[in-house]
């Protein structure tokens, strides 16, 4: 009670800033958020994400939550799921959604690949490097509803049509006797060639990082 | 040796006796007597003004100090972190698709891989910041109010600031806290004792008159025990007999604040311990509505007792907090419709606390009741504004839910709070599966709607 409150040391944040590209104030804000979600614990578990009502409304929330616990998104070349994440890993996953700074035009391609890799990992649930038709269909099913509005047949039709389109684009590049295993990451990139994903898949901070002092 | 100590002991005893007498006389004259008569010397307002000036000075010092040392200042973001893009669901999906393919798409008719992006982005955005979870923790302040508990920026800035902070600590804990605790015990003790005495009288006008006076007096002492500086607005709309008073809920102190300005019949669950003693004695003097724990689940029973109370027009207005739980005073959450179904005139009241002097929000998962009260009593003060809104009644074509939302909107508007549709119960529970299905329905409607157009043509 009598001691001064110790704020997290600057050097930790500087280190995270190097790794993820967020600014110090953005990291602070996210750290507060991390602590709020995890009830001041050191780690976050899957259950903690379930307390966000907006997220509960999202049809693909389980995939999104899985993405946070997927080692492939931690940029450490690991694989497989984990049960809990620390703040650093949380930031790593969040950094996939960072808006690229205008100066990084040259790096645009790598930023693009990174974001698309994230989406790819979200589909590829068994970590084998390809999105099989079952995995793709699973995502579509999550998005569609199973109410009376949309009969089970219509849902199946939509899913089939989408998969046929994907398969045909991929198969055009293959030999006739090759078996269609699934979409590899390279195919995936080709499919989404036209998308400016680096612009579309960002979450913007409304308060830009303006330092309150002048050097 | 003994001779040496005796006169010394005597001296100490005499001094102690004198200071205690002085202490209690001051207490009586400056605090308790005004409380009985409902007048105020204005000491508290002067105190508040002084504190404000002090806080402004402290904030300036911190900012200057941060500049000099090149520290990065952490400004709490009270508004949304994320820039909200005001496009609708359909438009965004169309835009995403348009930017990708070269086809000319008029309608969002088929499933496209890019639709995933939209949902992913929304999902991550809501993980980063959402409207609901942040309401269940205390609001962050923009300036520092010399309490360590509300500070994120405090490094050693200057000697003066540290001295001030230390002085503040000493004053708060060694002077204000004992004073307040004494007052609190006096207030509660008087309440229990006097209401028991009044309970012995036969029912009648004298009893009601006396019980009103006693309740008001004791609540006023409690208000002073918290150093609560309350501004009441629009008192002409004060709740009248036979009506229901609804207010937004931030902490248990809300009850004391409202009840020190008017008499209400309170509604709640009977607790054990000290609370239970207070509740049981209060009900002897004046008909409050207390429920046993088992009765609380039975909604019909609750509704019946409330409406029975309302039938008797001479009974005091009922005080209800329809949110059902404590929210952090930046927003108003869903009002439970039960209180709006029983009929009667509804008198809405908006309560807004000024967080600069002490955060009144009770985070029941973090603090128990006793530690919460101690925190309250060791803050500088509790400053709040109470607005009495004009009475509302349910209209012919409205159902209880719509009426509840109308009242909620009026309260939110007056208090400057955000009006949310979410249920405060989300603090403890999870969102129902039905919500997830809502989004799915929206999306599939969009796909199917256009499918039908195409199959028809």
The answer to whether the Cβ–Cβ distance between A147 and B444 falls below 8 Å is yes
Beta B382-388 vs B346-354: how paired, if at all? antiparallel
What token pair was written down for B282? 């209060």
Chain A residues near residue B120 by CB distance under 8 angstroms: 60, 63-64, 119, 122, 201
pLDDT of residue A8: 46
Nearest to B169 by CA among A84, A103, A2, A189: A2
B127 touches chain A (CB under 8 A): yes
pLDDT tens sequence across B87-101:
455 565 566 555 544
Q: Where are the domains of chain A?
A: 11-101, 106-191
Q: Which residues contact B203 (CB under 8 A, 6 or more apart)?
A: none
Closest by Cβ to B130, choosing from A53, A159, A215: A53
On the question of a common fold for A11-101 and A106-191, the answer reads yes
The answer to whether the Cβ–Cβ distance between B126 and A205 falls below 8 Å is no
Per-10-residue mean pLDDT for chain A, 215 residues long?
40 78 80 82 83 76 82 76 84 79 68 80 78 74 56 66 69 54 73 68 57 31
**Least-confidence region, from A49-58, B79-88, B142-151, B326-335:** B79-88
What token pair was written down for A122? 């979200």
pLDDT tens sequence across B163-220:
877 888 888 888 888 888 888 888 888 888 888 888 888 888 888 888 888 888 888 8
Q: Are A72 and A81 in contact (CB under 8 A)?
A: no
The rounded distance, in Å, linking the Cα atoms of B101 and B94 is 11
**Least-confidence region, from A148-162, B56-70, B291-305, B325-339:** A148-162
Highest mean pLDDT among A101-110, A166-175, B42-51, B379-388: B379-388
Minimal CA separation from A170 to chain B, in Å: 14
> Does residue B358 have a pLDDT over 80?
no
The rounded distance, in Å, linking the Cα atoms of A203 and B128 is 9
Buried b / exposed e along B42-70 (16+ C-beta atoms within 10 A): eebeeebeebbeebeebbebbbebbeeee
- Per-window interface: B 379-398 vs A, CB < 8 A: none
Nearest CA in chain A to B366: A39
**Least-confidence region, from B26-40, B190-204, B281-295:** B26-40
B30 inside domain: no
pLDDT tens sequence across B247-278:
998 888 888 899 888 888 888 878 777 778 88
B73 touches chain A (CB under 8 A): yes
Strand partners, B43: none
The answer to whether the Cβ–Cβ distance between B132 and A205 falls below 8 Å is no
- Domain that includes residue B308, residue range: 229-427
Was domain A106-191 assigned CATH 1.10.238.10? Answer: yes
B249 inside domain: yes
> Does residue B432 have a pLDDT over 80?
no
Minimal CA separation from A53 to chain B, in Å: 6
The rounded distance, in Å, linking the Cα atoms of B266 and B318 is 6
Nearest to B109 by CA among A165, A125, A123, A170: A165
Minimal CA separation from A50 to chain B, in Å: 7
B138 inside domain: no
**CATH number of A11-101: 1.10.645.10, 1.10.10.10, 3.40.50.2300, 1.10.238.10?**
1.10.238.10
Say which residue, B452 or A3, is predicted with more confidence: B452
Number of compact structural domains in chain B = 1
The rounded distance, in Å, linking the Cα atoms of B289 and B302 is 9
Q: How far is CA B39 from CA A33, A135, B48, B261, in A?
A: 45, 73, 18, 12
Strand partners, B331: B418
Model confidence, pTM: 0.69
The answer to whether the Cβ–Cβ distance between A194 and B100 falls below 8 Å is yes
């Amino acid at each position: 009670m009598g001691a001064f409150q110790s704020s997290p040391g600057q050097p930790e944040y500087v280190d995270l800033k190097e790794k993820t590209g967020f600014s110090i104030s953005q990291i602070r804000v996210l750290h507060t958020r991390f602590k709020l979600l995890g009830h001041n614990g050191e780690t976050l578990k899957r259950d903690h994400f379930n307390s966000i009502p907006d997220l509960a409304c999202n049809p693909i929330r389980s995939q999104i939550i899985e993405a946070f616990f997927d080692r492939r998104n931690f940029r450490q070349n690991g694989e497989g799921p984990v049960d809990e994440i620390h703040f650093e890993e949380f930031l790593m996953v969040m950094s996939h959604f960072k808006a690229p700074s205008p100066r990084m035009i040259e790096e645009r391609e790598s930023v693009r690949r990174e974001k698309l890799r994230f989406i790819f990992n979200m589909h590829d649930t068994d970590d084998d490097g390809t999105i099989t038709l079952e995995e793709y269909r699973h995502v579509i099913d999550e998005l569609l509803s199973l109410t009376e509005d949309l009969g089970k047949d219509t849902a199946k039709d939509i899913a089939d049509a989408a998969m046929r389109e994907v398969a045909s684009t991929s198969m055009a590049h293959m030999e006739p006797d090759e078996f269609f295993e699934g979409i590899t990451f390279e195919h995936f990139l080709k499919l989404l060639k036209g998308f400016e994903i680096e612009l579309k898949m960002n979450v913007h901070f409304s308060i830009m990082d303006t330092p309150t002092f002048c050097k | 040796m003994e001779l040496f100590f005796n006169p010394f002991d005597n001296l100490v005893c005499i001094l102690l006796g004198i200071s205690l007498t002085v202490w209690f006389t001051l207490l009586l004259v400056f605090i308790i007597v005004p409380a009985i008569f409902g007048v105020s010397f204005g000491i508290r307002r002067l105190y508040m003004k002084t504190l404000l000036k002090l806080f402004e000075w402290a904030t300036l010092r911190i900012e200057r100090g941060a500049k000099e040392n090149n520290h990065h200042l952490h400004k709490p973001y009270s508004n949304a972190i994320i820039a909200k893009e005001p496009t609708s669901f359909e438009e965004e999906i169309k835009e995403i698709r348009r930017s990708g393919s070269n086809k000319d798409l008029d309608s969002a008719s088929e499933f496209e891989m890019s639709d995933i992006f939209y949902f992913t982005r929304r999902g991550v955005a809501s993980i980063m910041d959402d409207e609901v979870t942040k309401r269940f923790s205390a609001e962050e302040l923009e300036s520092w109010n010399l309490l360590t508990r509300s500070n994120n920026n405090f490094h050693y800035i200057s000697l003066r600031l540290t001295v001030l902070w230390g002085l503040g600590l000493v004053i708060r804990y060694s002077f204000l806290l004992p004073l307040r605790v004494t007052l609190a015990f006096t207030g509660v003790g008087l309440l229990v004792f006097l209401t028991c005495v009044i309970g012995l009288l036969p029912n009648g006008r004298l009893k009601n008159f006396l019980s009103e006076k006693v309740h008001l007096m004791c609540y006023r002492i409690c208000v002073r025990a918290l150093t609560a500086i309350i501004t009441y607005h629009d008192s002409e709309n004060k709740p009248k007999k036979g009506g229901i008073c609804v207010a937004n809920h931030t902490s248990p102190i809300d009850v004391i604040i409202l009840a020190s300005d008017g008499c209400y019949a309170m509604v709640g669950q009977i607790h054990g311990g000290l609370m239970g003693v207070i509740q049981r004695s209060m009900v002897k003097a004046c008909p409050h509505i207390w429920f046993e724990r088992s009765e609380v689940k039975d909604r019909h029973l609750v509704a019946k007792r409330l409406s029975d109370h309302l039938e008797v027009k001479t009974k005091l207005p009922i005080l209800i907090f329809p949110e059902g739980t404590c929210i952090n005073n930046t927003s108003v959450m869903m009002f439970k419709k039960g209180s709006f179904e029983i009929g009667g005139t509804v008198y809405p009241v908006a309560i807004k606390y000024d967080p600069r002097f002490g955060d009144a929000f009770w985070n029941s998962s973090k603090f128990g009741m006793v530690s919460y009260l101690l925190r309250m009593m060791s803050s500088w003060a509790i400053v709040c504004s109470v607005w009495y809104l004009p009475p509302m009644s349910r209209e012919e074509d409205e159902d209880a839910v719509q009426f509840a939302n109308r009242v909620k909107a009026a309260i939110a508007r007056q208090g400057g709070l955000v009006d949310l549709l979410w249920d405060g119960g989300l603090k403890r529970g999870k969102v129902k599966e039905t919500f997830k299905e809502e989004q799915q329905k929206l999306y599939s409607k969009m796909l199917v709607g256009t499918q039908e157009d195409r199959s028809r043509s």
